[in-house]
Amino acid sequence: MLLSRMKKYIFILLGFNWTLCSAQINLTASEENHKIAGDVLVTSLPAIALGSTLIWKDGKKGTLQFTKTLATTVLSTYALKLIINKERPNGESLNSFPSGHTSIAFASAGFMQKRYGWKVGIPAYALAGYVGYSRIKANKHDGWDVIAGAILGTGIAYLFTESFLEKKDIKITLGNVKSYTSMTTVRNYTTLKLIYQF
């Protein structure tokens, strides 16, 4: 029951975000394509992050962590927009800082990276970075808005998310390796090996 209620609230928050972003001043074809791609990704990344809690079967804990991450990100972003009142580069409104699309995308990417590791996190961060880029190309935000959104989303994700994977230790070993350079000569080399497993 709690799990289904949390999913319902996540989709309500995403729908709220989608409606706020639907108003648009005329764009060039390139700007429109970037805007559409960013809009698709800003809803896809949270859906993927939520779905990842089901794929890895980490139960209610992962879903709850993502719900807290997304809700706090959305509320913090829109509170800052109301407080700061910065005009958008295209002049359409006074809610430019920070970028909501970027904060949501980076919160989703940060959750996936911290929860499931860098193998999942690197592609997620790449997609989130493109969302930020799309907001600049669509003339909705400047670089500062996007950077602030990225920092806000990632920071909140790191605040609420715990790793699902086993703790990986860094192992440092010191030893000797024998090298045979000919049939009669044996050389010893001291080696230092650093291993970190993702």
DSSP assignment string, the chain:
-HHHHHHHHHHHHHHHHHHHT-------HHHHHHHHHHHHHHHHHHHHHHHHHHHTT-HHHHHHHHHHHHHHHHHHHHHHHHHH-PPPTTSS-S--SS-HHHHHHHHHHHHHHHHH-HHHHHHHHHHHHHHHHHHHHTTS--HHHHHHHHHHHHHHHHHH----SPP--EEEEEEEEEEESSSS-EEEEEEEEEEE--
pLDDT tens, position by position, 111-137: 999 998 999 999 999 999 999 999 998
What pLDDT score does 186 carry? 45
Q: Kindly report whether the global pTM for this prediction surpasses the value 0.85.
A: no
pLDDT at 172 over 60: no
15-25 average pLDDT score? 49
Q: Domain 2-160 belongs to what topology?
A: Vanadium-containing Chloroperoxidase; domain 1 (1.20.144)
